[in-house]
Amino acid sequence: MKTLDLPDCSLPGGNHLDGGILARGLSELARPGRAAVSLPWLDAERLAPLRRSASRLAFRRARPLVGEAEKAVRQDFEITLEVPAGGRLNRFAQSLEAELATALASLTDPPVEPPRLNDIAVQRYAAGSSGISPHRDHLRYRRLVVLLSLSGQARLFVCDDREGRGAEEVSIAPGRLLLMRAPGFAGSDARPFHFLTEVTAARYGLGLRHDRTKEAPIG
């Protein structure tokens, strides 16, 4: 299976779920052939303020068509990279970066160096949006791609090619964290094809990535 959904587990009175599930997600993602793993991460109470912060940002319409000919990708969403430093979304990214490092350190054979979540993007899909057609995330994104679903309803599939063959769904229900491979994960250069479709309720998603072009020079 290219995808895996780790099950929901309700912790009585618990807000933040056990970080152990992150280590489990990462080791599942390292299995041969695996491209994406979804895990429960935030409950409704923790999610609401992040969603509110996202909804206050200034979005711009993404270009409806990127790339040419057979490589063309259709996209129907709004996006912003203007996420205030020190704001709630940025603080979430920083804490998740630390939690990823802890989770990776707990594994006997960590599949990847801890990613720096130095690229933050928020996407907004209106209800009825056609989503985004099969594509791979840009080569500059390395190690691990992380997507936190803040609200809405849509379906995300990992597939084998631009035609969407071999599609397997992975959950992007609100509160879930999606981990997807990027080059450098588990000794592979894999960049999984994926697409999002069937947006039946307006969706906000927070994308956190390790952009190698923003890495600080060493020395």
Q: Which stretch binds Fe ion (CB under 5 A): 5-13, 29-37, 133-141, 165-173?
A: 133-141
- The residue among 99 and 137 lying less far from Fe ion, judged by its C-beta, is 137
Among 43, 78, 137, 168, binds Fe ion (CB under 5 A): 137
Residue 92 main-chain phi, psi, to 5 deg: -60, -45
Q: What is the DSSP letter of 214?
A: G
Strand partners, 158: 168, 194
Q: How many residues does the chain have?
A: 219
- Token pair in block for residue 8: 């929901």
Q: Which stretch binds Fe ion (CB under 5 A): 7-15, 131-139, 163-171, 183-191?
A: 131-139
Q: Which stretch binds Fe ion (CB under 5 A): 69-77, 101-109, 130-138, 146-154?
A: 130-138
Least distance to Fe ion, CB of residue 75, Å: 9
Site mask for Fe ion (CB under 5 A), range 32-51, x = bound: --------------------
By Cβ distance, which residue is nearest to Fe ion? 137
Residue 211 interacts with Fe ion (CB under 5 A): yes or no: no
- Asked if 39 contacts 7 with a C-beta cutoff of 8 angstroms, the reply is no
- The residue among 23 and 152 lying less far from Fe ion, judged by its C-beta, is 152
- Asked if 186 contacts 111 with a C-beta cutoff of 8 angstroms, the reply is yes
Give the DSSP H/E element, type plus range, for residue 99: helix 88-105
* Total Cβ atoms within 10 A of residue 164: 15
Provide the binding-site residues for Fe ion, judged by CB under 5 A. Answer: 137
